[in-house]
């Protein structure tokens, strides 16, 4: 370790952002934290194991995902009590942003332990900054509900929100989303950001109906960041 760099602090939860596609996006600080922590809490230990192998890092892994958050949060708090330095990562991007992490952060803060962010890749920021829509004011929605009625109600509730809307969507529901947006936001500018930071990164721009016509003519792969421009 560089003697000029501060050592990791015992009893601290480090939220480490990891690449959303391109492995070159991992930060030097993130690598140092992963190397020097006592244990890594990971959304998918197999996925994180591949990342660690790529950078020659060997650390104990603790599975932490949506369906075991409550139990694992208790274990993480107990480890913090013992003075462990814990790095929390998700499969890609920043923990807590449409990924596990929020619950353990709240628990750690409530228990009086230190939480430190190790910022880095985030699909929200990558899509918004390169999308070409206004960035001075935006509203992050994340993933919409799966059920059609709830999704439509959520979209309707967003019509009065000022600024650019930012959503996440899977390739399996993007066509359905564009159909719904054609009814709710027919005249708005929309950007579909796909495969961000990867080899086939792509930005599609147009109104919902125009983008729907494009999507219906080609195979759809990769997670989407969906940007919706402000209303007129």
pLDDT tens digits along 8-43: 999 999 999 999 999 999 999 999 999 999 999 999
The kind and range of the H/E element at 123 are helix 123-131
pTM confidence score: 0.92
pLDDT tier at 2, thresholds 50, 70, 90: low
Q: Which structure tokens are listed for 80?
A: 């913090």
Tell me what percent of the residues of the chain surpass a pLDDT of 70.
98
Number of domains in the chain: 2
Q: pLDDT digit string (tens) for 62-81?
A: 999 877 877 889 999 999 99
**Which residues, other chains included, contact 71 with Cβ-Cβ below 8 Å and sequence gap of 6+?**
none
Residues 132, 39 share a domain: no
Residues 201, 156 share a domain: yes
Q: What is the DSSP string of 155-174?
A: HHHTTT--SEEEEEE-TTTH
Range of the domain at 168: 123-228
**How far, in Å, CA of 59 to CA of 150, rounded?**
42
* Residue 171 vs residue 231, higher pLDDT: 171
Residues 141, 50 share a domain: no
Q: Which structure tokens are listed for 38?
A: 């006592």
In a domain, 3, yes or no: no
**How far, in Å, CA of 22 to CA of 211, rounded?**
26
**Which residues, other chains included, contact 38 with Cβ-Cβ below 8 Å and sequence gap of 6+?**
59, 60, 79, 84, 85, 86
Instruction: Please tell me which of 8-17, 90-99, 145-154 the model is most confident about, judged by mean pLDDT.
Output: 8-17
Tell me what percent of the residues of the chain surpass a pLDDT of 90.
89
Instruction: Report the 10 Å Cβ neighbour count for 180.
Output: 19
């Amino acid at each position: 370790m560089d003697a000029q760099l501060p050592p990791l602090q015992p009893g601290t939860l480090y939220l480490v952002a990891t690449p959303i596609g391109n492995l070159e996006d991992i930060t030097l600080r993130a690598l140092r934290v992963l190397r020097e922590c006592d244990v890594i809490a990971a959304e998918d230990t197999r996925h994180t194991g591949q990342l660690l192998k790529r950078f020659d890092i060997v650390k104990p892994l603790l599975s932490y995902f949506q369906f075991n958050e409550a139990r694992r949060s208790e274990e993480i708090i107990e480890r913090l009590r013992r003075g462990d330095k814990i790095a929390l990562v998700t499969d890609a991007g920043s923990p807590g942003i449409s990924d596990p992490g929020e619950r353990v952060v709240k628990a750690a803060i409530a228990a009086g332990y230190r939480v430190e962010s190790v910022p880095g890749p985030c699909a929200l920021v990558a899509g918004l900054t390169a999308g070409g829509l206004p960035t001075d004011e935006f509203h992050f929605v994340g993933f919409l509900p799966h059920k059609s009625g709830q999704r439509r109600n959520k979209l309707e509730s967003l019509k009065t929100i000022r600024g650019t809307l930012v959503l996440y969507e899977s390739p399996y529901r993007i066509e359905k989303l564009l159909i719904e947006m054609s009814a709710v936001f027919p005249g708005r500018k929309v950007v579909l950001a796909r495969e961000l930071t990867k080899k086939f990164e792509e930005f599609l721009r147009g109104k919902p109906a125009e983008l729907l016509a494009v999507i219906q003519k080609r195979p759809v792969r990769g997670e989407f960041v969906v940007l919706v421009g402000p209303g007129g």
